[in-house]
Amino acid sequence: MFSEWLRNETGSIAEHLLGETCLHESATGGYALKTRVERLIHLLQSAMYPNIYYEKKMTGAFQATLVTQLLQETSVLLLEICEDVITGPVSASEKLTQDFMESLPDIARMLDKDITAAYDGDPAARSREEVMLSYPAFETITIYRLAHRLFELNLPIVPRMMTEYAHSRTGIDIHPGAIIGEYFFIDHGTGVVIGETCVIGRHVKLYQGVTLGAKSFDMDENGHPVKGGKRHPDVEDRVVIYAGATILGGDVVIGKGSVIGGSVWLTKSVPPYSIIYNTARTISVSQTMENDWII
């Protein structure tokens, strides 16, 4: 009977299951790491933009008190996460947490410029609040800039989890190792990919479907990809890259002020102030009779 099987067999299944999954000696992360990282993101967003992300209505008189409480809760949670994923003394986790939390005003200043870039760069944007409330790129770039700071501080795993959480929500995939300058804007956004070793300058605008990726990977003697190394392109200041463009290679530089047209495939550098676009050899045009559309 099922009840007998339930009593006698599930314990054995549990032993085998744990042996194959979370009890490996090399396992990293502690309990419920994904859940706690998502909570960390929400706390940071709420502290930085309480009128956008915090769950309850807030009055101005209590704003400083609330943000202080949120920052304290965030600090405790980040310290717990650090202690789970960092091998070393508790003091290392405490130092990383303090350094990160103290950098939040600088990150907020950078994000304010990204909001300006979105508002100034999109005629459909009616207000800065609209950008913050409805543009997927703002959520992704916010999480990226937070994750990038943790990446700079050498926190393992967590920065990548943060940007993959943003990826799952918005369809925009930015590796936390990428270096992205001020006034960054992604219009529409779905399908954008920015690789780990990309360096992007100031006032850069991307459209949906842009890939800044790797052309190839070096292999070791066992046929495994060699980790590290410059694999992704650099994009200089005031570049616009239109929908569906693919730019590959760690030695590729898109010169400042350039415009890269839609669906362009690039594996070579272009000089400053270039305009790159596809030219079709032939265009086929056919017509149908009105009745052909009747189903």
The string of DSSP letters for 65-122 reads HHHHHHHHHHHHHHHHHHHHH--S-HHHHHHHHHHHHHTHHHHHHHHHHHHHHHHHH-
Share of the chain above pLDDT 70, in %: 91
Statement: residue 281 has pLDDT above 50: yes
For residue 295, the model assigns a pLDDT of: 43
- How far apart CA 178 and CA 159 sit, in angstroms, is 11
What residues form DSSP beta bridges with 125?
none
Mean pLDDT on 153-174: 97
- How far apart CA 132 and CA 246 sit, in angstroms, is 28
Phi–psi pair at 240, nearest 5 degrees: -115, 130
Statement: residue 109 has pLDDT above 90: yes
For residue 290, the model assigns a pLDDT of: 58
**Confidence grade of residue 293 (pLDDT, cut at 50, 70, 90):** very low
- Over residues 225-258, the pLDDT tens digits come to 777 789 999 999 999 999 999 999 999 999 999 9
For residue 159, the model assigns a pLDDT of: 98
Statement: residue 259 has pLDDT above 90: yes
The C-alpha torsion from 185 through 187 and 188 to 191, rounded to 10°, is: -70
The C-alpha torsion from 136 through 138 and 140 to 143, rounded to 10°, is: -150
Question: Which amino acid belongs to residue 285?
Answer: V
Mean pLDDT on 64-73: 93
Share of the chain above pLDDT 90, in %: 73
**Confidence grade of residue 27 (pLDDT, cut at 50, 70, 90):** low
Cβ atoms of 250 and 178 closer than 8 Å: no
**All structural domains of the chain:** 30-172 (1.10.3130.10), 178-287 (2.160.10.10)
**Confidence grade of residue 222 (pLDDT, cut at 50, 70, 90):** confident
**Confidence grade of residue 16 (pLDDT, cut at 50, 70, 90):** confident
For residue 282, the model assigns a pLDDT of: 64
The C-alpha torsion from 42 through 43 and 44 to 50, rounded to 10°, is: 90
Of 261, 215, 253, 213, nearest to 237 by C-alpha is 253
**What is the number of residues in the chain?**
295
| Least confident among 16-25, 120-129, 151-160 | 16-25
Say whether 254 sits in a helix, a strand or coil.
strand
The tokens for 148 are: 């990038």
For residue 34, the model assigns a pLDDT of: 94
**Confidence grade of residue 292 (pLDDT, cut at 50, 70, 90):** low
